[in-house]
Amino acid sequence: MFIEPHNGLSNRGWIEVICGSMFSGKTEELIRRLKRARIANQRVEIFKPSLDVRYSSDHLVSHDDNMIRSTAVHHSNEILILSDDFQVVGIDEAQFFDEGIMDVCQVLARKGVRVIVAGLDMDYTGKPFGQMPNLLAIADYITKLHAICMVCGQIANYSFRKSASAEQVILGEKDLYEPRCRICFQQQEDSGS
């Protein structure tokens, strides 16, 4: 369970990373934390990569249809430009951002901003995804969420792609992906289907 830091130093920023497989609740947890910050009357801004338009172009939307308004950006540097005067900055689908996302998060945290980042830690092949390994390395707090394996019902850490495409990024939902545990993911990989 994540416990928000409180040490009397309210002007100190930090970086929180929420990671896991598809369907593990990453966006849901990000939205929950951002809504709590708003309830506490903190100034909140939310960003997502412009390529993620699966549910909405101007909202973060979880798989269970929970949503919060967000700003789509093409490049991580836009986050710095658009996040002036905010106390909390949320960033979803961080694996899709360019290599500057790590520096953007560092700059914001040094300015006293609470930065909450969510993203896939592994791609459909089970390899570290995009800039997530770098964000995990600099995070002050990490929350790893799990889904349920669609084959055996155990804890799932992997995002299995149902299609044969070898492109690293294919946006999709349950039609293209399903969560798998380590064993079921590996068995499918070994069988080559």
What is the set of active-site residues? 93
Cβ atoms 188, 180 nearer than 8 A: yes
Residue 50 phi/psi, 5° resolution? Answer: -65, -20
Cα separation, 129 vs 127, whole angstroms: 6
Cβ atoms 56, 67 nearer than 8 A: yes
Q: What is the largest CA-CA distance in the chain?
A: 55
Q: Which residue has the tokens 């006293």?
A: 112
Residue 28: count of CB within 10 angstroms of its CB: 17
Cβ atoms 76, 100 nearer than 8 A: yes
Task: Decide the pairing of beta strands 14-20 and 67-69.
Answer: unpaired
Helix (H) or strand (E) holding 44: strand 44-49
